[in-house]
Structure 1
Amino acid sequence: MSKALEFSPKDHVVYPTHGVGQISSIEEQEISGMKLKLYVIEFAHEKMTLRVPIGQVKNVGMRKLSTPKKMKTAIETLKGRARVKRTMWSRRAQEYEAKINSGDPISIAEVVRDLHRNSGQPDQSYSERQIYEAAFDRLVREFAAVEEIDTTQAGERLQKILEVE
């Protein structure tokens, strides 16, 4: 296990099911009699700390922040027309959750685009609103980290893009 570490303390990373976090340290712990090197990731938004064994990084899908180019593609996705399938809500909700938990900003942008409602449109159901807010929040946090701005500014910028339609 002497390969170079992929991440270092202070790096921002994306953990698919939790979004953007920051590596606070790398520590060694003994778990079940085995010594493991772990990334300690802080998710300030959720007030949560996660320890990921260095050898499991690929398996769990942890990755570096998106490149500005990939984030631009995600923003372009937001500007597109909503594509809502005519399947039952429960099936679509599962698909939306899977896209959010994939951690891919383009997939998350698709969920935001498809569930966004402008002022003249009918209201969302409670579960639609929950999924929309989860996707929007996840996209805002990665956009803010990539652009190096705070989440309030990032949210306002994304909201403006969505309102343009």
Structure 2
Amino acid sequence: MTMLRFRNIDATPDDPVEDWGFEGLLTAVERGSLPHWRRIVSSVRRDPFGKVAAELEEVLGVAEREGVVDSLRRNLDRARAGERGAVAERVRRAVVRSDLTAAAFARTIGTSPSRLSTYMSGQVTPSAALLTKMERTADDLALESYVRSVRER
């Protein structure tokens, strides 16, 4: 692991991330490396709305290492989205896979574009039956599109 040292705090990089505080997290973001960032992400995943996650959110507002900040922000957002976010991601992937506009996909599965938008954003979670229908429809449309493209060659 890259040598990382904390200054002016009682914690060390070997201590649990929960003991690092704002200064330790900022130092790890700015001067740490992948193993340090993985430890931060693991802590955030364990408690997406806990102390480390809240401190990390503050750190990300002031840290200057753009790539690291972007990656940690995505991980924090993903951890906070939880299952609802995972379902929203599956809905978004189904729409993309279908090769239809969101409005056309909504009509195809029998819902309104505005309702589909709430599923895609994670504001509302579709039933398991509707999610299954979305994924099956997307797969069928993608297969039809592929067969059409092969025939046109």
TM-score by length of 2: 0.29
Q: Between Structure 1 and Structure 2, whose CA radius of gyration is higher?
A: 2
User: Of Structure 1 and Structure 2, which has the larger fraction of its residues in helix?
Assistant: 2
Larger proportion of strand: 1
* Structure number with higher relative contact order (C-alpha < 8 Å, ≥ 6 residues apart): 1
Q: TM-score, normalised by structure 1?
A: 0.28
